[in-house]
Every structure is written in structure tokens, then in C-alpha cells.
């Protein structure tokens, strides 16, 4: 069965419009609850959220849905997505739910589901939940309705867990770190974890008001962090997104460091210690060709997947890899988490900074990226990539770059845009190719 509601990262959309309504959330709760009610034990779901205004509404609707089919609900309040994955597993829950639209602005929201093992659901499981949403679910009898309660120690549990990802002898004393939490889910836990390990922490994006999440702050808007790092003479800057499953770093000179360089650093360190499994790392088609060349030079592979951290994770599990991620900053370190965790990745970077004694600008420049350009073309409907004129321009571009670069064109799985990316050793050629394709898509829409 084809999924219609679920995209590459759960269900996502504009709140109170289209699919992202309280009614949909309640149906998700009823359908997912029905899917996971198996066996005679008391069934349980953990629900977390980021700091969006609509989180209260969606949370209440999900609670109504789950309890109506007999599941008990544990609510954590604002916590990162990886924390919900962790708590789902630790609390022996049947299901975990994160209410978040990740890096999108506050008007959007989303629903991500985790199985009892803490991993995101498969495409097949999501398709079955969609099927159940279309029919009548069996409601629990009056005496079997679920109970709901909030827990107060969820933040402390997560902070303790992420600190375990760093060797016990490592302390961050002497490091000045600017931490930008995007006014999002990690606004309390990420600065606390880094401070508890000894760093001098300067915070940014830690005053959520329901509508300012990802607004001019966070991993997709790093200008404020870059300026603050330089102003504070900090050693490094850490930028998370709204649900804290991705990480972008800023070095002491204010320069951005993307997920490709972070993966290269972590993989190199682990390989040198004999701790890297799978013979390399997993990344998506968007990762820079320079990363692939660097890994090959060290006898390591770069296994590529389509875009989406769920597909990275699937390839990691299938191939026995323990490091994977995306250029956009999703970092999956399977030794410590079952999904992308920006805070865990940040602690690993800070630990490497301490061990090396080198400035971030040196440590985090692991390889020379080839020129790469990504542009987005927004569209209101239709299938512009099926247009004959667009296909012709893409074919010409592929022929032009053959043997000297790569071309990746895809519709986003989370918003109505076509992403056009090209890379190669000739920057002017890359820009010309991307502009030509974007113009063709514009004309088609």
C-alpha cells in the first residue's frame, strides 16, 4: 500500500490546514494504537513535543486517540526527538510519538512515530497505520480506556544518557561554547549537558514563546550564531534545529561546518580507534563528492542512500555501519542512539576538540569539498519534473557533467519544492548547470 500521509519524516504540514489538524492527530492515535495493541500486557505510548504553539493541541488530540483504544499515555513535554526514541525503549513502551516539524517554522507541525525498539517505523508499518485510519477502529470499553500522565524526570534521564556518549575521563573545562537551540525542543537539555561536562556555555535560542522556533536561529539560520561566536571569542558554536536531531557547527572564526565534515571527523576518529564498523559510513546522495574521495583515500566506503535519515538508518542496519548521516546535519551514531541526535554528535565533536588541542577551524576541516550548489524551486502543484522541457535540460546537464561531477534533482519530501543540486571540480560549470535546470523548472510551473 502506498503511503499518502507519511513522508520521509512522518506526517508534516501547516497546522489547521490540510492533514495537520487535531482530527487527523486523533485518528493517528487511534490507528497507531490499534496497530500496536498486541498481547495481554498493559499498553503504553510515550509522547513528546517541541515548543510550537500547536503542540498543545496536537498532544491533546493524540492523547484522546490513544486512550480511546486502550493505551496508557506518558507525556514528557518539550524534549528532542532522540530523547523520545530513547524513552520509548527504556520505558518498555509499545510506541513513541514526537510532535514536531523539525526545522520548519512554527506554523507547521508534524507527527513522527517510533516502534518499541526506538527506531522509526518502516514504510510498511506507516502504510498499514494509514489504512487503519481510513476505517472504523475498535474503541476500548469504558473500563478499558487508557490513562494519561506527565512525568517530571524525562529531561534528567536524557541528559544522563547523552553524557554517557563521552568517555568518563573527558571534561570540557576551558572550552567556551555557544549553543543555539533554535528556541526548540533542546532549549533546556543541550546547554545543561554541555555545562555539566565543564564547558563555559553561552546560550542562544533558548527562550521559546510558541511562535519563534527556528525563526532566525538554529541549524538552518546560523548567521546569529556565527556573529555570537566571534563576539564572545568562543572556541566553537553548536547549532541544533527545532527538534534537535541535526547539528551544524561554527568554528572559532565564525565559519560554518556542515554534516559532511562532522561525519568525516567522527568516522576518522572511530576508525583510528578500531571502533568504526561497516568499513565506512552511510550518507545520502546530497553529500559532497569530496567526502567520498576523502574516505576512499583512507580505504573506507561511502554508501549512499536517497534523502531522509530513515533511509540512512535502514542502510546502516543492513550493512552493519555505526556512523551515518546527512550533509544537512542529521548525525546517527548507532552506538549511542537509534535516530539522529544533534546533542550526542555535538558532544563527540567537543570531545575531539579537547583531545586534539587544535582550534576548531583546523580540526573540523577534514577534507576539501568540491564546488557544490543547491537551489530550491517552489511550486504550487503538478509534476514539473515530468515536463518534457525539464527532462531535456536535465539530460543535457548530465551529459555535460559526466565523469567530472554529479547531479541530483528531487522533490522534497517535506515541502512543495524541487531541490536541484550539482557538484564538480569547475565551479562556473556547476552554477551554469543548476541555473539552467532551475529556469526550466520555473517555466514548467
Instruction: Give the pLDDT band of residue 404 (cuts 50, 70, 90).
Output: confident
Cα gap 369→256, rounded to integer Å: 13
Residue 2, pLDDT > 70, answer no
Instruction: Give the pLDDT band of residue 431 (cuts 50, 70, 90).
Output: very high
Angle between helices 22-36 and 123-134 (to 10 degrees): 110
Residue range(s) occupied by CATH 3.40.120.10 in the chain = 11-152, 173-363
Residue 1, pLDDT > 60, answer no
Q: Centre a 10 Å sphere on the Cβ of residue 57 and count the other Cβ atoms it contains.
A: 17
Cα gap 212→184, rounded to integer Å: 9
Domain 173-363, classified CATH 3.40.50.300, yes or no: no
Q: DSSP readout, 321-337? A: -SEEE-TTSBEEETTT-
102 catalytic? Reply is yes
Question: Average model confidence (pLDDT) for the chain?
Answer: 94
Beta strands across the sheet bearing 372-378: 372-378, 417-424, 405-411
Q: Which residues, in sequence order, are bridge partners of residue 303?
A: 282
Cα gap 33→26, rounded to integer Å: 10
- Taking only the tens place, the pLDDT of each residue in 103-154 is 999 999 999 999 999 999 988 999 999 999 999 999 999 999 999 999 999 9
The hierarchical CATH code for the domain 372-444 is: 3.30.310.50
The hierarchical CATH code for the domain 11-152 is: 3.40.120.10
- Taking only the tens place, the pLDDT of each residue in 244-256 is 999 999 999 999 9
Active-site entry in 54, 68, 100, 102: 102
Residue 14's pLDDT is 94
Instruction: Give the pLDDT band of residue 4 (cuts 50, 70, 90).
Output: confident
Could you tell me what percent of the chain has a pLDDT over 90?
Answer: 88
Residue 219, pLDDT > 80, answer yes
CB contact at 8 A, 80 and 243: yes
Amino acid at each position: 500500500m502506498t503511503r499518502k500521509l507519511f513522508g520521509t519524516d512522518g506526517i508534516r504540514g501547516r497546522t489547521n490546514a490540510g492533514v495537520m489538524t487535531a482530527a487527523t492527530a486523533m485518528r493517528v492515535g487511534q490507528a497507531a494504537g490499534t496497530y500496536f495493541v498486541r498481547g495481554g500486557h498493559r499498553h503504553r505510548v510515550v509522547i513528546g513535543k517541541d515548543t510550537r504553539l500547536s503542540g498543545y493541541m496536537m498532544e491533546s488530540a493524540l492523547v484522546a486517540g490513544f486512550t480511546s483504544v486502550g493505551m496508557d499515555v506518558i507525556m514528557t513535554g518539550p524534549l528532542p526527538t532522540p530523547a523520545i526514541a530513547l524513552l520509548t525503549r527504556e520505558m518498555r513502551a509499545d510506541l513513541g510519538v514526537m510532535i514536531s516539524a523539525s526545522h520548519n517554522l512554527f506554523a507547521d507541525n508534524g507527527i513522527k512515530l517510533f516502534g518499541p525498539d526506538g527506531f522509526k517505523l518502516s514504510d510498511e508499518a506507516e502504510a498499514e497505520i494509514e489504512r487503519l485510519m481510513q476505517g472504523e477502529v475498535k474503541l476500548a470499553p469504558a473500563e478499558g480506556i487508557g490513562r494519561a500522565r506527565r512525568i517530571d524526570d524525562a529531561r534528567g534521564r536524557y541528559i544522563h544518557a547523552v553524557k554517557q556518549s563521552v568517555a568518563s575521563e573527558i571534561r570540557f573545562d576551558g572550552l567556551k561554547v555557544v549553543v543555539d537551540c533554535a528556541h526548540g525542543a533542546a532549549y533546556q537539555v543541550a546547554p545543561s549537558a554541555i555545562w555539566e561536562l565543564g564547558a563555559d556555555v553561552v546560550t542562544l535560542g533558548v527562550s521559546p514563546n510558541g511562535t519563534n522556533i527556528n525563526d532566525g536561529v538554529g541549524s538552518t539560520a546560523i548567521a546569529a550564531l556565527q556573529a555570537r561566536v566571534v563576539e564572545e571569542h568562543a572556541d566553537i558554536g553548536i547549532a541544533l534545529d527545532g527538534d534537535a536531531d541535526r547539528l551544524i557547527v561554527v568554528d572559532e572564526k565564525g565559519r560554518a561546518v556542515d554534516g559532511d565534515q562532522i561525519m568525516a571527523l567522527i568516522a576518522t576518529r572511530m576508525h583510528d580507534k578500531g571502533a568504526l564498523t561497516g568499513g565506512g559510513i552511510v550518507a545520502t546522495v546530497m553529500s559532497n563528492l569530496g567526502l567520498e574521495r576523502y574516505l576512499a583515500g583512507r580505504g573506507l566506503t561511502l554508501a549512499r542512500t536517497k534523502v531522509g535519515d530513515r533511509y540512512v538508518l535502514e542502510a546502516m542496519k543492513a550493512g552493519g555501519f555505526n556512523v551515518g548521516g546527512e550533509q544537512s546535519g542529521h548525525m546517527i551514531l548507532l552506538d549511542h542512539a537509534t535516530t539522529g541526535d544533534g546533542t550526542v554528535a555535538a558532544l563527540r565533536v567537543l570531545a575531539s576538540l579537547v583531545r586534539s588541542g587544535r582550534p576548531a577551524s583546523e580540526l573540523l576541516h577534514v577534507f576539501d569539498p568540491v564546488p557544490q550548489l543547491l537551489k530550491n524551486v517552489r511550486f504550487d502543484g503538478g509534476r514539473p519534473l515530468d515536463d518534457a522541457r525539464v527532462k531535456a535540460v536535465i539530460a543535457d546537464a548530465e551529459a555535460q557533467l559526466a565523469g567530472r561531477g554529479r547531479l541530483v534533482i528531487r522533490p522534497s519530501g517535506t515541502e512543495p519544492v524541487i531541490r536541484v543540486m550539482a557538484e564538480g571540480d569547475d565551479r562556473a560549470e556547476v552554477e551554469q548547470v543548476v541555473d539552467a535546470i532551475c529556469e526550466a523548472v520555473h517555466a514548467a510551473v
